[in-house]
Amino acid sequence: MVVIKQKTITPSGTVRKLIIRLIIACIIVGLFVWQAFAAVLPQDRSDAMYHSYQGGGMSIDGPSILLRKKIGNHVSVSANYYVDTISGASIDVLATASPYAEERTENSVGVDFLHNKTLMSLNYTTSSENDFEAQSIHFGVSQDFFGDLTTLSLGYSKGNDEVGKTGDESFLELAERQNYQLGVTQVITKNMILGLSVENISDQGYLNNPYRSVRFIDASSARGYRFETEVYPNTRRSNAASITANYYLPYRASVYGEAKVFSDSWGIQANTYKLGYIHTFGDDWIVEMRARHYQQDKADFYQDLYTRSAEFNFRARDKEMSTFNNLSLGLSLTYEFQFSAANFFKKSTINLDFDHVNYNYDDFRNVLVNSTLEGDTSGIAPVGEEPLYQFSANITRFYVSIFY
């Protein structure tokens, strides 16, 4: 008995298969048109940065160092070393535990290979902290077309996480992730570039944070509620799409904007809007001002307070899964030292980037307001009516770059 199967494909599998075939086709075509002209490798540079995040009870800072160098005409290699030194604790942690100190190190190496107008990149990243290990590999292809006015980029990433839990030696869970990226950049005029980017991500495995808990009403407990571990689905599929635009202003300045939409299989819908203005003073000073607004709707299985233990199959109270928005305003200052073009070192910059961000939660409540004095019942909000949480944070980046 023999049956011929008519293949029909669902949309998310469609995007993935199309992208894979486009990657292969572009590599093949790129090799075929070997007589075509070429593009350029990423610029040689080294950067040393101090980064800092202060807010929401957290203090995270550390270095990030990048080294990049061309080898011959076709290859560029890069390496990045990054550390987060974390202390304090966010509200999620403080609600159920106490402040902690931790360190996370991330190392990344990459190689870019240029063949005519095709640029291929390969990157390997490892991230390590005492209760979490992750590795990921990224492969990208970028091709210039139509007189270098159009650039098509395709990317694939695969990541593996090992999730542990401090204090529980036997706890070890795994998660894996695959990303498919497609991007098109188009030069519109001498002064304007438009970009379009699409990314499909699917995760599988243990996808929640082992330290996060949900709370449910329990009249028998002192606080009126109790905590239990979150339970997330073990798969997640998400799609994001963004448009960007850059416009050059005649007095050597530029304005840029970005709009992004996101939706996933957990019911989260989000959008991001960014607007920025870059202004130059003379040949050496660059100032940037920017604003960013983010808004998201909660995951289907998110609730700040459940009515009983194990009320639903999936339960989340991680504020990242709630309905909230944030607004950030930022300023950057750069001073450029221009060296002689005949020097080995061509240019050096000193930079300070600063962003102030405000988070406002619509359905995540601040349970810490009640945990002040024992026995003082004045001003204690009833369970489920605690004030909605909000916080602000300062994100600072101070770095020196050198170009050679």
Partner 1 sequence: MKAIKSTHLRLLLVIMVSGFASGCSSTFEPWVKPYERDNLADPIMSMNRNPVSLAYTHHAYQAREGARGAEGGAGGGCGCN
Partner 2 sequence: MLLYVKDFDPKTSAKFYSRLGLAVVFISLFLTSMNSLAANAKGPAPDFTLASKDGGNVRLQEQLGNVVLINFWASWCGPCREELPYLETLQQEYADLGFTILAVNVDENPSKADILLNDIPVSFPVLFDVNDDVSKLYKVKAMPTTVIVDRDGNQRLLHHGYKSGDEVKYKQAVKALLRE
Is 223 among the residues that bind partner 1 (CB under 8 A)? no
Tokens of 199: 């990314």
Contacting partner 2 (CB under 8 A), which of 20, 40, 196, 350?
40
Site for partner 2 in 170-189 (CB under 8 A): none
Using CB distances below 5 to 8 A depending on partner kind, what does residue 14 bind out of partner 1, partner 2, none? partner 1
Task: Check residue 32 for interaction with partner 2 (CB under 8 A).
Answer: yes
Question: Rule CB under 8 A: which of 242-281 touch partner 2?
Answer: none
For Cα atoms 67, 50, 255, give the angle at the middle one, nearest 5 degrees: 80
Q: Per-residue DSSP letters for 285-347?
A: EEEEEEEEEEEEEPPTTB-S-BSSTT-SSSBB--GGGSSEEEEEEEEEEEEEEEPPTTSSS-E
1 in contact with partner 2 (CB under 8 A): yes
Q: How much is the CA Rg of the chain, to the nearest whole Å?
A: 24
SS3 131: coil
Residues in 97-156 that interact with partner 2 by CB under 8 A: 147
Any contact of residue 29 with partner 2 (CB under 8 A)? Answer: yes
Dist CA 358 CA 130 (whole Å): 30
Q: How far is CA 175 from CA 16, 82, 122, 136, 241, in A?
A: 20, 22, 22, 12, 24
* Contact set for partner 1, span 310-339 (CB under 8 A): 320-321, 326
Stretch touching partner 1 by CB under 8 A, among 129-137, 272-280, 368-376, 378-386: 272-280
CB 122 within 8 A of CB 141: no
Query: Whose Cβ is closer to partner 1: residue 115's or residue 165's?
Result: 115
Q: Considering only residues 102-121, where is the footprint of partner 1 by CB under 8 A?
A: 117
213 binds, among partner 1, partner 2, none (CB under 5 to 8 A by kind): none
Instruction: Considering only residues 3 through 22, tell me which ones interact with partner 2, judged by CB under 8 A.
Output: 3-5
Residue 22: how many CB atoms within 10 A of its CB? 15
Contact positions with partner 2 (CB under 8 A) in 299-358: 340-343
Nearest partner of 179 among 239, 264, 113, 119, judged by Cα = 239
Binding partner selected for residue 2 from partner 2, partner 1, none, CB under the kind-specific 5 to 8 Å limit = partner 2
Q: Where on the chain is the footprint of partner 2 (CB under 8 A)?
A: 1-5, 29, 32-33, 35-38, 40, 43, 72-73, 147, 340-343
